[in-house]
Structure 1
Amino acid sequence: MLRRAAIEFAAPPDAFWRLSLKEWRALTGAQVGPALARPELAALMARFPDEEEADG
């Protein structure tokens, strides 16, 4: 849903990632849905791990 909204608003990727959830809700009129259950969150975290910063 958010990706589709970003395309509709022609938001470049850097602007997309800087927006807060509150800002997206205001822009899209999105309603708050149910929170993820812990197993769902764990699955997403495993699928999309944070990148480690390179030392240097």
Structure 2
Amino acid sequence: MRGFDWPSLMAAGLRGLRLRPADFWALTPAELQMILGQGAGAPALTRKGLDALLATYPDKTEGHEDERD
């Protein structure tokens, strides 16, 4: 059984995806694998793709009610 290559995973998450350390460590291995595009043939999430998701689904701002709640 092989262990995780933590240095490579941390570099991909923290430098490549620009995740904050708390966000990186909160991910499950399956979530990290999915974000990196490994597994089910899904393409890796790029910065451009993340920006598009953030534009489509912005975080709630204080004082504004989220329609999905």
Structure possessing the higher relative contact order (Cα contacts under 8 Å, 6 or more residues apart): 1
The TM-score, its normalising length taken from structure 2, stands at 0.40
Q: TM-score normalised to the size of structure 1?
A: 0.48
